[in-house]
Structure 1
Amino acid sequence: MHTVSICIPTYNGADYLSEALASVEAQTYKDFEVVISDDASKDDTLQILENFKARVSFPVHIFQHTPKGIGANWNHCVKHAKGAYIKFLFQDDVLLPYCLEEMVNLAKTDPEIGLVYGKRDFLFDTEPKDYTIWLRKCGILHQSWKGITVKQGILDGKAYLRDKNLLNLPNNKIGEPSLVLLKKEVFDKVGYFDTRLSQTLDFEYWYRLMPFYKIAFVDKVLIKFRLHGGQATQKNEKRKTKDARLLPQILMKNLFWKLHPKQRSYLIKEVFGIYYLQVFFKRIKKKLF
Protein backbone atom coordinates (compact mmCIF):
# COMPACT_ATOMS: atom_id res chain seq x y z
CA MET A 1 0.00 0.00 0.00
CA HIS A 2 1.29 3.44 -0.89
CA THR A 3 1.48 6.12 1.78
CA VAL A 4 -0.37 8.78 -0.23
CA SER A 5 -3.24 8.68 -2.69
CA ILE A 6 -3.21 11.76 -4.92
CA CYS A 7 -6.91 12.16 -5.74
CA ILE A 8 -7.75 14.10 -8.91
CA PRO A 9 -11.46 14.62 -9.66
CA THR A 10 -11.83 15.66 -13.30
CA TYR A 11 -14.44 17.12 -15.61
CA ASN A 12 -13.63 18.74 -18.96
CA GLY A 13 -10.20 19.70 -17.65
CA ALA A 14 -8.12 19.44 -20.81
CA ASP A 15 -6.98 23.08 -20.77
CA TYR A 16 -4.84 22.79 -17.64
CA LEU A 17 -4.75 19.09 -16.77
CA SER A 18 -1.32 18.38 -18.29
CA GLU A 19 0.22 21.06 -16.08
CA ALA A 20 -1.37 19.53 -12.99
CA LEU A 21 -0.16 16.05 -13.93
CA ALA A 22 3.37 17.30 -14.60
CA SER A 23 3.44 18.64 -11.04
CA VAL A 24 2.65 15.13 -9.79
CA GLU A 25 5.61 13.70 -11.71
CA ALA A 26 7.88 16.38 -10.22
CA GLN A 27 7.22 15.42 -6.58
CA THR A 28 10.32 14.72 -4.49
CA TYR A 29 8.25 12.30 -2.37
CA LYS A 30 7.61 9.19 -4.44
CA ASP A 31 5.51 6.80 -2.34
CA PHE A 32 2.13 7.54 -3.88
CA GLU A 33 -0.58 6.34 -6.21
CA VAL A 34 -2.80 8.53 -8.37
CA VAL A 35 -6.57 8.03 -8.24
CA ILE A 36 -8.68 9.84 -10.83
CA SER A 37 -12.47 10.05 -10.94
CA ASP A 38 -13.82 11.51 -14.17
CA ASP A 39 -17.32 12.99 -14.31
CA ALA A 40 -18.11 12.06 -17.94
CA SER A 41 -15.78 14.58 -19.59
CA LYS A 42 -16.60 15.52 -23.17
CA ASP A 43 -13.23 17.05 -24.12
CA ASP A 44 -9.76 15.45 -24.31
CA THR A 45 -9.47 14.87 -20.56
CA LEU A 46 -9.60 11.07 -20.72
CA GLN A 47 -7.06 10.89 -23.54
CA ILE A 48 -4.66 13.09 -21.58
CA LEU A 49 -5.13 10.84 -18.55
CA GLU A 50 -4.56 7.63 -20.51
CA ASN A 51 -1.39 9.05 -22.07
CA PHE A 52 -0.17 10.04 -18.62
CA LYS A 53 -0.90 6.58 -17.21
CA ALA A 54 1.00 4.90 -20.05
CA ARG A 55 4.03 7.15 -19.59
CA VAL A 56 4.68 7.10 -15.84
CA SER A 57 6.05 4.32 -13.63
CA PHE A 58 3.85 4.92 -10.55
CA PRO A 59 0.31 3.48 -10.33
CA VAL A 60 -2.48 5.51 -11.92
CA HIS A 61 -6.10 4.39 -11.52
CA ILE A 62 -8.78 6.01 -13.68
CA PHE A 63 -12.43 5.55 -12.72
CA GLN A 64 -15.56 6.68 -14.52
CA HIS A 65 -18.22 8.43 -12.46
CA THR A 66 -21.83 9.24 -13.29
CA PRO A 67 -22.21 12.99 -12.65
CA LYS A 68 -24.06 13.71 -9.41
CA GLY A 69 -22.37 16.95 -8.34
CA ILE A 70 -18.81 17.85 -7.43
CA GLY A 71 -19.00 16.39 -3.92
CA ALA A 72 -20.02 12.99 -5.25
CA ASN A 73 -17.01 13.00 -7.57
CA TRP A 74 -14.65 13.92 -4.72
CA ASN A 75 -16.10 11.12 -2.60
CA HIS A 76 -15.80 8.64 -5.46
CA CYS A 77 -12.08 9.43 -5.64
CA VAL A 78 -11.59 8.88 -1.92
CA LYS A 79 -13.51 5.61 -1.88
CA HIS A 80 -11.10 4.15 -4.46
CA ALA A 81 -7.98 5.42 -2.67
CA LYS A 82 -5.75 2.91 -0.84
CA GLY A 83 -3.21 5.25 0.73
CA ALA A 84 -2.92 6.19 4.40
CA TYR A 85 -3.23 9.84 3.38
CA ILE A 86 -5.42 11.62 0.82
CA LYS A 87 -3.91 14.48 -1.18
CA PHE A 88 -6.38 16.23 -3.42
CA LEU A 89 -5.19 17.92 -6.58
CA PHE A 90 -7.73 19.71 -8.71
CA GLN A 91 -7.29 19.54 -12.46
CA ASP A 92 -6.27 23.19 -12.89
CA ASP A 93 -4.01 23.54 -9.84
CA VAL A 94 -0.30 22.74 -9.45
CA LEU A 95 1.66 21.08 -6.64
CA LEU A 96 5.10 22.49 -5.95
CA PRO A 97 7.79 19.76 -6.07
CA TYR A 98 8.27 19.50 -2.29
CA CYS A 99 4.53 19.62 -1.45
CA LEU A 100 4.00 15.95 -0.58
CA GLU A 101 7.32 15.63 1.21
CA GLU A 102 6.66 18.59 3.50
CA MET A 103 3.08 17.57 4.28
CA VAL A 104 3.72 13.87 4.88
CA ASN A 105 6.79 14.50 7.04
CA LEU A 106 4.76 16.78 9.32
CA ALA A 107 1.73 14.47 9.33
CA LYS A 108 3.85 11.54 10.52
CA THR A 109 5.11 13.41 13.60
CA ASP A 110 1.82 12.89 15.47
CA PRO A 111 -0.79 10.14 14.89
CA GLU A 112 -3.55 12.50 16.05
CA ILE A 113 -3.05 14.85 13.07
CA GLY A 114 -6.02 14.56 10.72
CA LEU A 115 -5.35 17.48 8.40
CA VAL A 116 -2.24 19.28 7.14
CA TYR A 117 -2.36 22.55 5.20
CA GLY A 118 -0.03 25.36 4.19
CA LYS A 119 0.24 28.45 2.02
CA ARG A 120 -0.60 28.84 -1.65
CA ASP A 121 0.44 31.02 -4.54
CA PHE A 122 -1.78 31.80 -7.53
CA LEU A 123 -2.12 31.24 -11.25
CA PHE A 124 -4.22 33.81 -13.09
CA ASP A 125 -6.39 33.29 -16.16
CA THR A 126 -6.46 37.05 -16.71
CA GLU A 127 -4.58 40.04 -15.29
CA PRO A 128 -3.84 39.78 -11.53
CA LYS A 129 -5.47 43.18 -11.03
CA ASP A 130 -8.80 41.56 -11.95
CA TYR A 131 -8.64 39.65 -8.66
CA THR A 132 -7.54 42.48 -6.35
CA ILE A 133 -10.64 42.42 -4.14
CA TRP A 134 -10.66 38.62 -3.86
CA LEU A 135 -6.95 38.50 -3.04
CA ARG A 136 -7.37 41.14 -0.36
CA LYS A 137 -9.99 38.99 1.37
CA CYS A 138 -8.74 35.49 0.64
CA GLY A 139 -5.10 35.73 -0.37
CA ILE A 140 -3.44 34.89 2.97
CA LEU A 141 -5.85 32.58 4.75
CA HIS A 142 -3.89 31.49 7.81
CA GLN A 143 -3.76 35.08 9.09
CA SER A 144 -7.57 35.27 9.21
CA TRP A 145 -7.81 33.46 12.55
CA LYS A 146 -8.21 35.76 15.57
CA GLY A 147 -8.21 33.50 18.63
CA ILE A 148 -5.21 31.42 17.59
CA THR A 149 -1.82 32.14 16.09
CA VAL A 150 -1.07 29.84 13.18
CA LYS A 151 2.58 29.04 12.56
CA GLN A 152 4.67 26.02 11.55
CA GLY A 153 3.52 23.13 13.71
CA ILE A 154 0.45 21.55 15.27
CA LEU A 155 -2.67 22.82 17.07
CA ASP A 156 -5.69 21.05 18.52
CA GLY A 157 -8.55 21.14 16.03
CA LYS A 158 -10.92 22.20 18.81
CA ALA A 159 -8.92 25.43 19.20
CA TYR A 160 -9.58 26.23 15.54
CA LEU A 161 -13.26 25.47 15.99
CA ARG A 162 -13.58 27.75 19.04
CA ASP A 163 -12.03 30.70 17.20
CA LYS A 164 -14.32 33.72 17.54
CA ASN A 165 -13.68 34.58 13.89
CA LEU A 166 -14.52 31.11 12.53
CA LEU A 167 -17.61 32.03 10.50
CA ASN A 168 -16.46 35.51 9.53
CA LEU A 169 -15.13 36.08 6.02
CA PRO A 170 -13.23 34.37 4.60
CA ASN A 171 -15.22 31.32 5.71
CA ASN A 172 -12.57 28.93 4.43
CA LYS A 173 -9.51 29.82 6.48
CA ILE A 174 -7.83 26.46 5.82
CA GLY A 175 -7.92 26.54 2.04
CA GLU A 176 -9.08 24.74 -1.05
CA PRO A 177 -8.82 20.92 -1.24
CA SER A 178 -5.64 21.10 -3.36
CA LEU A 179 -3.95 22.73 -0.34
CA VAL A 180 -4.94 19.99 2.13
CA LEU A 181 -3.57 16.57 3.10
CA LEU A 182 -6.07 14.38 4.98
CA LYS A 183 -5.55 11.21 6.94
CA LYS A 184 -7.63 8.51 5.25
CA GLU A 185 -9.11 7.32 8.54
CA VAL A 186 -10.82 10.71 8.90
CA PHE A 187 -13.41 9.58 6.35
CA ASP A 188 -14.23 6.53 8.48
CA LYS A 189 -14.58 8.76 11.54
CA VAL A 190 -16.62 11.71 10.27
CA GLY A 191 -17.97 10.54 6.90
CA TYR A 192 -17.55 11.96 3.41
CA PHE A 193 -18.11 15.37 1.83
CA ASP A 194 -21.71 16.55 2.12
CA THR A 195 -23.14 16.29 -1.39
CA ARG A 196 -25.99 18.66 -0.57
CA LEU A 197 -23.44 21.48 -0.65
CA SER A 198 -21.61 22.74 -3.72
CA GLN A 199 -19.66 25.90 -2.80
CA THR A 200 -18.96 25.31 0.89
CA LEU A 201 -18.51 21.55 1.16
CA ASP A 202 -14.74 21.78 1.58
CA PHE A 203 -14.60 23.97 4.66
CA GLU A 204 -17.72 22.35 6.14
CA TYR A 205 -15.64 19.18 6.09
CA TRP A 206 -12.62 20.88 7.67
CA TYR A 207 -14.90 22.13 10.48
CA ARG A 208 -16.47 18.70 10.90
CA LEU A 209 -13.18 16.91 11.56
CA MET A 210 -11.80 19.55 13.96
CA PRO A 211 -13.39 18.15 17.16
CA PHE A 212 -11.58 14.85 16.64
CA TYR A 213 -8.13 15.66 15.24
CA LYS A 214 -5.15 17.95 15.46
CA ILE A 215 -4.43 20.33 12.57
CA ALA A 216 -0.89 20.86 11.25
CA PHE A 217 0.38 23.85 9.30
CA VAL A 218 3.37 24.00 6.93
CA ASP A 219 4.69 27.56 6.79
CA LYS A 220 5.62 27.33 3.11
CA VAL A 221 3.91 27.83 -0.23
CA LEU A 222 2.92 24.30 -1.28
CA ILE A 223 0.66 24.74 -4.31
CA LYS A 224 -0.43 27.15 -6.99
CA PHE A 225 -4.18 27.69 -7.01
CA ARG A 226 -5.68 28.82 -10.29
CA LEU A 227 -8.10 31.74 -10.31
CA HIS A 228 -10.64 31.80 -13.13
CA GLY A 229 -12.52 34.76 -14.51
CA GLY A 230 -15.70 32.70 -14.43
CA GLN A 231 -15.63 31.97 -10.73
CA ALA A 232 -18.41 34.48 -10.05
CA THR A 233 -20.78 33.17 -12.72
CA GLN A 234 -24.54 33.29 -12.33
CA LYS A 235 -24.59 29.51 -11.89
CA ASN A 236 -22.12 29.72 -9.03
CA GLU A 237 -24.09 32.55 -7.44
CA LYS A 238 -27.20 30.32 -7.38
CA ARG A 239 -25.17 27.57 -5.71
CA LYS A 240 -23.88 30.04 -3.14
CA THR A 241 -27.45 31.06 -2.33
CA LYS A 242 -28.45 27.44 -1.76
CA ASP A 243 -25.40 26.81 0.43
CA ALA A 244 -26.07 30.00 2.40
CA ARG A 245 -29.44 28.54 3.43
CA LEU A 246 -28.22 25.03 4.16
CA LEU A 247 -24.77 25.45 5.74
CA PRO A 248 -25.93 27.25 8.93
CA GLN A 249 -28.43 24.46 9.55
CA ILE A 250 -25.72 21.81 9.17
CA LEU A 251 -23.34 23.64 11.50
CA MET A 252 -26.12 24.21 14.04
CA LYS A 253 -26.92 20.50 14.10
CA ASN A 254 -23.37 19.12 14.17
CA LEU A 255 -21.14 21.68 15.88
CA PHE A 256 -23.23 24.23 17.79
CA TRP A 257 -21.92 23.58 21.32
CA LYS A 258 -18.32 23.34 20.14
CA LEU A 259 -18.26 26.89 18.77
CA HIS A 260 -17.36 30.22 20.36
CA PRO A 261 -20.46 31.90 21.93
CA LYS A 262 -20.23 34.69 19.35
CA GLN A 263 -20.51 32.15 16.53
CA ARG A 264 -23.36 30.32 18.25
CA SER A 265 -25.30 33.59 18.36
CA TYR A 266 -24.58 34.12 14.67
CA LEU A 267 -25.92 30.65 13.79
CA ILE A 268 -29.11 31.17 15.79
CA LYS A 269 -29.81 34.38 13.88
CA GLU A 270 -29.03 32.76 10.54
CA VAL A 271 -31.03 29.58 11.05
CA PHE A 272 -34.13 31.11 12.62
CA GLY A 273 -34.00 34.11 10.31
CA ILE A 274 -34.11 31.77 7.32
CA TYR A 275 -36.93 29.75 8.91
CA TYR A 276 -39.16 32.75 9.50
CA LEU A 277 -38.46 34.13 6.04
CA GLN A 278 -39.55 30.82 4.54
CA VAL A 279 -42.76 30.86 6.61
CA PHE A 280 -43.40 34.47 5.60
CA PHE A 281 -42.99 33.80 1.87
CA LYS A 282 -45.18 30.69 2.05
CA ARG A 283 -47.97 32.77 3.55
CA ILE A 284 -47.52 35.50 0.93
CA LYS A 285 -47.61 32.88 -1.81
CA LYS A 286 -50.88 31.45 -0.48
CA LYS A 287 -52.48 34.88 -0.44
CA LEU A 288 -51.32 35.70 -3.96
CA PHE A 289 -52.13 32.38 -5.58
Structure 2
Amino acid sequence: MASVSVCIPVYNGARFLAETIRSVLDQTYRDFELIVLDNASTDGSGAIAQSFAERDSRVRLERNPTTLSQPDNWNRVVQLSRSPLVKVVCADDLLHPRCLEFQVTPMEADPGLALVASRRHMIDEQSRVIVPNRGLAGLTGVRTGVEVARKVVRNGSNPIGESNNVLFRREDFFAVGGWRADRTYIMDLDLWLRLLQYGEFLGLPETLAAFRIGRGTVSSDHGERIYEQQRMLLEEIGESPFFQVRGVDLAVGRLLAPAGRSRRRALYAISKIAARRNEGGDAA
Protein backbone atom coordinates (compact mmCIF):
# COMPACT_ATOMS: atom_id res chain seq x y z
CA MET A 1 0.00 0.00 0.00
CA ALA A 2 1.24 3.47 -0.91
CA SER A 3 1.70 6.03 1.87
CA VAL A 4 -0.63 8.58 0.32
CA SER A 5 -3.54 8.65 -2.12
CA VAL A 6 -3.84 11.62 -4.44
CA CYS A 7 -7.41 11.82 -5.73
CA ILE A 8 -8.54 13.79 -8.79
CA PRO A 9 -12.32 13.93 -9.28
CA VAL A 10 -13.03 15.21 -12.80
CA TYR A 11 -16.10 16.17 -14.78
CA ASN A 12 -15.50 17.54 -18.28
CA GLY A 13 -12.07 18.76 -17.26
CA ALA A 14 -10.12 17.79 -20.36
CA ARG A 15 -8.68 21.26 -20.87
CA PHE A 16 -6.44 21.18 -17.78
CA LEU A 17 -6.46 17.53 -16.68
CA ALA A 18 -3.19 16.46 -18.32
CA GLU A 19 -1.32 19.38 -16.74
CA THR A 20 -2.81 18.52 -13.34
CA ILE A 21 -1.90 14.83 -13.62
CA ARG A 22 1.66 15.67 -14.68
CA SER A 23 2.06 17.92 -11.64
CA VAL A 24 1.21 14.93 -9.43
CA LEU A 25 3.42 12.46 -11.26
CA ASP A 26 6.36 14.88 -11.10
CA GLN A 27 6.44 14.74 -7.29
CA THR A 28 9.81 14.16 -5.63
CA TYR A 29 7.97 11.94 -3.12
CA ARG A 30 7.22 8.78 -5.11
CA ASP A 31 5.26 6.50 -2.76
CA PHE A 32 1.73 7.46 -3.79
CA GLU A 33 -1.21 6.22 -5.78
CA LEU A 34 -3.17 8.52 -8.08
CA ILE A 35 -6.89 7.89 -8.51
CA VAL A 36 -8.69 9.77 -11.27
CA LEU A 37 -12.47 9.47 -10.94
CA ASP A 38 -14.25 10.34 -14.20
CA ASN A 39 -17.71 11.57 -13.24
CA ALA A 40 -19.36 10.40 -16.50
CA SER A 41 -17.67 13.16 -18.48
CA THR A 42 -18.80 13.86 -22.03
CA ASP A 43 -15.45 15.27 -23.17
CA GLY A 44 -12.06 13.57 -23.40
CA SER A 45 -11.31 13.49 -19.67
CA GLY A 46 -11.50 9.70 -19.42
CA ALA A 47 -9.26 9.15 -22.42
CA ILE A 48 -6.65 11.57 -21.06
CA ALA A 49 -6.57 9.81 -17.69
CA GLN A 50 -6.43 6.40 -19.37
CA SER A 51 -3.40 7.43 -21.43
CA PHE A 52 -1.53 8.18 -18.19
CA ALA A 53 -2.73 4.96 -16.52
CA GLU A 54 -1.32 2.93 -19.41
CA ARG A 55 2.12 4.47 -18.88
CA ASP A 56 2.34 4.70 -15.08
CA SER A 57 1.23 1.93 -12.74
CA ARG A 58 0.54 4.42 -9.95
CA VAL A 59 -2.37 5.89 -11.92
CA ARG A 60 -5.79 4.26 -11.58
CA LEU A 61 -8.80 5.40 -13.60
CA GLU A 62 -12.27 4.86 -12.18
CA ARG A 63 -15.56 5.86 -13.80
CA ASN A 64 -19.04 6.67 -12.54
CA PRO A 65 -21.82 5.22 -14.72
CA THR A 66 -23.87 8.39 -14.20
CA THR A 67 -22.92 11.90 -13.15
CA LEU A 68 -22.93 12.39 -9.37
CA SER A 69 -23.22 15.66 -7.47
CA GLN A 70 -19.89 17.22 -6.52
CA PRO A 71 -20.08 16.16 -2.81
CA ASP A 72 -21.07 12.59 -3.74
CA ASN A 73 -18.34 12.39 -6.37
CA TRP A 74 -15.69 13.72 -3.98
CA ASN A 75 -16.80 11.30 -1.26
CA ARG A 76 -16.58 8.42 -3.70
CA VAL A 77 -13.06 9.27 -4.83
CA VAL A 78 -11.88 9.18 -1.20
CA GLN A 79 -13.74 5.88 -0.72
CA LEU A 80 -11.74 4.50 -3.66
CA SER A 81 -8.46 5.51 -2.02
CA ARG A 82 -6.36 2.89 -0.22
CA SER A 83 -3.75 4.87 1.68
CA PRO A 84 -3.86 6.29 5.21
CA LEU A 85 -3.15 9.83 3.96
CA VAL A 86 -5.26 11.58 1.33
CA LYS A 87 -5.06 14.67 -0.85
CA VAL A 88 -7.87 15.70 -3.21
CA VAL A 89 -6.80 17.80 -6.18
CA CYS A 90 -9.28 19.55 -8.48
CA ALA A 91 -8.82 18.64 -12.13
CA ASP A 92 -7.57 22.13 -13.01
CA ASP A 93 -5.26 22.79 -10.04
CA LEU A 94 -1.54 22.06 -9.68
CA LEU A 95 0.95 20.74 -7.14
CA HIS A 96 4.51 21.95 -6.64
CA PRO A 97 6.99 19.06 -7.19
CA ARG A 98 7.85 18.91 -3.47
CA CYS A 99 4.28 19.19 -2.15
CA LEU A 100 3.94 15.58 -1.00
CA GLU A 101 7.52 15.49 0.27
CA PHE A 102 6.89 18.45 2.56
CA GLN A 103 3.43 17.39 3.71
CA VAL A 104 3.62 13.61 4.13
CA THR A 105 6.76 13.61 6.29
CA PRO A 106 5.31 15.55 9.26
CA MET A 107 2.01 13.67 9.09
CA GLU A 108 3.80 10.34 9.34
CA ALA A 109 6.08 11.60 12.10
CA ASP A 110 3.32 13.05 14.30
CA PRO A 111 0.08 11.05 14.71
CA GLY A 112 -1.37 14.02 16.59
CA LEU A 113 -1.63 16.05 13.39
CA ALA A 114 -5.01 16.00 11.64
CA LEU A 115 -4.15 18.43 8.83
CA VAL A 116 -1.08 19.76 7.06
CA ALA A 117 -1.59 22.76 4.80
CA SER A 118 0.68 25.01 2.72
CA ARG A 119 0.38 28.31 1.00
CA ARG A 120 -0.68 28.33 -2.65
CA HIS A 121 -0.52 30.54 -5.73
CA MET A 122 -3.65 31.80 -7.44
CA ILE A 123 -3.25 31.19 -11.18
CA ASP A 124 -5.25 32.07 -14.29
CA GLU A 125 -6.35 29.93 -17.21
CA GLN A 126 -2.86 30.12 -18.73
CA SER A 127 -1.26 28.95 -15.44
CA ARG A 128 0.17 32.40 -14.81
CA VAL A 129 0.38 33.51 -11.19
CA ILE A 130 -2.20 36.18 -10.35
CA VAL A 131 -1.60 36.31 -6.59
CA PRO A 132 1.50 34.57 -5.16
CA ASN A 133 1.95 32.88 -1.80
CA ARG A 134 -1.64 33.19 -0.62
CA GLY A 135 -3.10 31.90 2.64
CA LEU A 136 -2.17 30.83 6.18
CA ALA A 137 -1.61 34.34 7.52
CA GLY A 138 -0.98 33.79 11.23
CA LEU A 139 -1.43 30.04 10.82
CA THR A 140 2.07 28.69 10.14
CA GLY A 141 3.55 26.19 12.58
CA VAL A 142 1.61 23.77 14.78
CA ARG A 143 -1.74 25.11 15.94
CA THR A 144 -4.59 23.68 17.98
CA GLY A 145 -8.08 23.41 16.56
CA VAL A 146 -9.16 26.24 18.86
CA GLU A 147 -6.42 28.55 17.53
CA VAL A 148 -7.33 27.75 13.92
CA ALA A 149 -11.07 28.22 14.49
CA ARG A 150 -10.53 31.63 16.06
CA LYS A 151 -8.30 32.66 13.15
CA VAL A 152 -10.85 31.41 10.61
CA VAL A 153 -13.67 33.31 12.30
CA ARG A 154 -11.63 36.50 12.47
CA ASN A 155 -10.61 36.14 8.83
CA GLY A 156 -14.25 35.96 7.73
CA SER A 157 -13.26 33.73 4.80
CA ASN A 158 -11.07 30.64 4.22
CA PRO A 159 -7.46 31.31 5.31
CA ILE A 160 -6.58 27.58 5.16
CA GLY A 161 -7.25 27.07 1.48
CA GLU A 162 -8.65 24.52 -0.90
CA SER A 163 -8.22 20.76 -1.03
CA ASN A 164 -5.13 20.76 -3.25
CA ASN A 165 -2.92 22.44 -0.62
CA VAL A 166 -4.15 20.27 2.29
CA LEU A 167 -3.31 16.70 3.36
CA PHE A 168 -5.55 14.77 5.78
CA ARG A 169 -6.04 11.31 7.27
CA ARG A 170 -8.45 8.91 5.58
CA GLU A 171 -9.61 7.48 8.91
CA ASP A 172 -10.54 10.92 10.23
CA PHE A 173 -12.35 11.77 7.00
CA PHE A 174 -14.81 8.93 7.46
CA ALA A 175 -15.09 9.53 11.18
CA VAL A 176 -16.46 13.05 10.56
CA GLY A 177 -18.71 12.00 7.67
CA GLY A 178 -16.72 13.29 4.70
CA TRP A 179 -17.78 16.14 2.43
CA ARG A 180 -21.26 17.47 3.27
CA ALA A 181 -23.86 17.81 0.52
CA ASP A 182 -25.46 20.83 2.20
CA ARG A 183 -22.15 22.74 2.17
CA THR A 184 -21.38 22.53 -1.55
CA TYR A 185 -19.80 25.98 -1.78
CA ILE A 186 -17.63 25.71 1.35
CA MET A 187 -16.97 21.96 1.39
CA ASP A 188 -13.27 22.38 2.06
CA LEU A 189 -13.38 24.80 4.99
CA ASP A 190 -16.29 22.92 6.57
CA LEU A 191 -14.34 19.64 6.41
CA TRP A 192 -11.08 21.15 7.73
CA LEU A 193 -12.79 22.40 10.87
CA ARG A 194 -14.50 19.09 11.54
CA LEU A 195 -11.21 17.24 11.06
CA LEU A 196 -9.51 19.54 13.56
CA GLN A 197 -11.61 17.96 16.29
CA TYR A 198 -9.37 14.89 15.80
CA GLY A 199 -5.96 16.53 16.01
CA GLU A 200 -3.78 19.57 15.47
CA PHE A 201 -2.99 21.67 12.45
CA LEU A 202 0.38 22.27 10.80
CA GLY A 203 0.74 25.26 8.50
CA LEU A 204 3.79 25.19 6.23
CA PRO A 205 5.32 28.50 5.09
CA GLU A 206 6.20 27.09 1.66
CA THR A 207 3.97 27.59 -1.38
CA LEU A 208 3.28 24.05 -2.58
CA ALA A 209 0.16 24.23 -4.75
CA ALA A 210 -1.71 26.41 -7.24
CA PHE A 211 -5.43 27.11 -7.33
CA ARG A 212 -6.81 28.03 -10.73
CA ILE A 213 -9.30 30.86 -11.00
CA GLY A 214 -11.05 30.41 -14.32
CA ARG A 215 -14.34 31.11 -15.97
CA GLY A 216 -17.09 28.60 -15.34
CA THR A 217 -15.71 27.29 -12.04
CA VAL A 218 -17.83 26.92 -8.92
CA SER A 219 -15.84 29.66 -7.20
CA SER A 220 -16.29 32.18 -10.01
CA ASP A 221 -19.97 31.49 -10.73
CA HIS A 222 -21.36 31.34 -7.19
CA GLY A 223 -19.64 34.09 -5.23
CA GLU A 224 -22.77 35.16 -3.35
CA ARG A 225 -23.63 31.62 -2.30
CA ILE A 226 -20.07 31.06 -1.13
CA TYR A 227 -20.33 34.22 0.93
CA GLU A 228 -23.66 33.19 2.46
CA GLN A 229 -22.47 29.70 3.39
CA GLN A 230 -19.21 31.05 4.82
CA ARG A 231 -21.10 33.45 7.06
CA MET A 232 -23.39 30.63 8.20
CA LEU A 233 -20.39 28.41 8.99
CA LEU A 234 -18.62 31.15 10.93
CA GLU A 235 -21.69 31.68 13.12
CA GLU A 236 -21.90 27.92 13.65
CA ILE A 237 -18.25 27.74 14.71
CA GLY A 238 -18.84 30.64 17.04
CA GLU A 239 -21.53 28.68 18.85
CA SER A 240 -19.46 25.48 19.13
CA PRO A 241 -18.31 24.71 22.70
CA PHE A 242 -15.37 22.74 21.29
CA PHE A 243 -13.74 25.68 19.49
CA GLN A 244 -14.23 28.25 22.27
CA VAL A 245 -14.56 31.18 19.87
CA ARG A 246 -14.77 34.50 21.71
CA GLY A 247 -17.20 37.31 21.12
CA VAL A 248 -14.42 39.57 19.89
CA ASP A 249 -13.47 36.95 17.26
CA LEU A 250 -17.01 36.89 15.90
CA ALA A 251 -17.23 40.67 15.90
CA VAL A 252 -14.03 41.00 13.88
CA GLY A 253 -15.12 38.23 11.48
CA ARG A 254 -18.48 39.86 10.82
CA LEU A 255 -16.73 43.13 10.12
CA LEU A 256 -14.15 41.62 7.73
CA ALA A 257 -16.40 39.18 5.84
CA PRO A 258 -17.47 41.74 3.19
CA ALA A 259 -13.80 42.55 2.52
CA GLY A 260 -13.13 38.87 1.86
CA ARG A 261 -15.96 38.79 -0.65
CA SER A 262 -14.53 41.87 -2.38
CA ARG A 263 -11.08 40.25 -2.62
CA ARG A 264 -12.64 37.16 -4.18
CA ARG A 265 -14.53 39.23 -6.75
CA ALA A 266 -11.34 41.11 -7.63
CA LEU A 267 -9.44 37.87 -8.26
CA TYR A 268 -12.13 36.56 -10.61
CA ALA A 269 -12.25 39.88 -12.45
CA ILE A 270 -8.48 39.85 -12.97
CA SER A 271 -8.64 36.28 -14.27
CA LYS A 272 -11.40 37.12 -16.75
CA ILE A 273 -9.49 40.15 -18.04
CA ALA A 274 -6.37 38.02 -18.50
CA ALA A 275 -8.38 35.36 -20.35
CA ARG A 276 -9.89 37.93 -22.74
CA ARG A 277 -6.48 39.41 -23.44
CA ASN A 278 -5.08 35.98 -24.20
CA GLU A 279 -7.96 35.23 -26.58
CA GLY A 280 -7.31 38.53 -28.30
CA GLY A 281 -3.65 37.64 -28.72
CA ASP A 282 -4.53 34.21 -30.12
CA ALA A 283 -6.93 35.77 -32.61
CA ALA A 284 -4.28 38.22 -33.81
TM category, shorter: 0.7 to 0.9
Candidates 150, 156, 171, aligned match of 2:144: 156
Partner in structure 2 of residue 174 of structure 1: 160
Amino acid in the other structure paired with 2:14? A
- Provide structure 2 residue ranges, at least 5 long, that are not aligned to the other structure: 255-284
Greater Cα shift, 101-110 or 60-69: 60-69
Structure showing greater radius of gyration is 1
Matches within 5 A, 1:52-201: 52-64=52-64, 66-125=66-125, 135=131, 140-143=134-137, 145=138, 150-151=139-140, 153-161=141-149, 163=150, 165-169=151-155, 171-201=157-187
* Structure 1 residues 265 and 181, CA gap change in structure 2 (3 angstroms): same
Q: How much does 1:108 deviate? A: 1.6
Q: Is the 8 A contact 1:126 1:229 kept in 2?
A: no
* Structure 1 residues 253 and 181, CA gap change in structure 2 (3 angstroms): same
Q: Deviations over 1:8-50 (max 9, x none)?
A: 1101100010001111221111111112222221111011011
Amino acid in the other structure paired with 1:33? E
- Provide structure 1 residue ranges, at least 5 long, that are not aligned to the other structure: 269-289
Q: How much does 1:252 deviate? A: 6.0
Partner in structure 2 of residue 51 of structure 1: 51
* Moved segments of 4+, more than 4 Å: 126-129, 230-235, 252-257, 263-268
* Structure 1 residues 139 and 229, CA gap change in structure 2 (3 angstroms): farther
Partner in structure 2 of residue 209 of structure 1: 195
* 3-state SS of 2:119 partner: strand
User: TM-score with structure 1 length normalisation?
Assistant: 0.77
Distance 2:203 2:230 in 1: 28
Q: Is the 8 A contact 1:257 1:264 kept in 2?
A: no
Candidates 190, 199, 205, aligned match of 1:219: 205
Distance 2:75 2:235 in 1: 22
Amino acid in the other structure paired with 1:208? R
Aligned-residue sequence identity (percent) comes to 28
Q: Is the 8 A contact 1:89 1:177 kept in 2?
A: yes
* Structure 1 residues 65 and 9, CA gap change in structure 2 (3 angstroms): farther
Q: Deviations over 1:53-102 (max 9, x none)?
A: 11113241413164342222111111111101001111111111111111
Distance 2:112 2:238 in 1: 26
Distance 1:72 1:171 in 2: 24
* 3-state SS of 1:67 partner: coil
Q: Is the 8 A contact 1:5 1:32 kept in 2?
A: yes
Equivalenced residues, count: 255
User: TM-score with structure 2 length normalisation?
Assistant: 0.78
* Structure 1 residues 233 and 115, CA gap change in structure 2 (3 angstroms): closer
Q: Is the 8 A contact 1:4 1:33 kept in 2?
A: yes
Amino acid in the other structure paired with 2:176? V
* 3-state SS of 1:21 partner: helix
Q: How much does 1:118 deviate? A: 0.7
Q: How much does 1:5 deviate? A: 0.5
Distance 1:26 1:157 in 2: 32
Distance 2:93 2:35 in 1: 16
Distance 2:243 2:56 in 1: 49
Q: Is the 8 A contact 1:38 1:65 kept in 2?
A: no
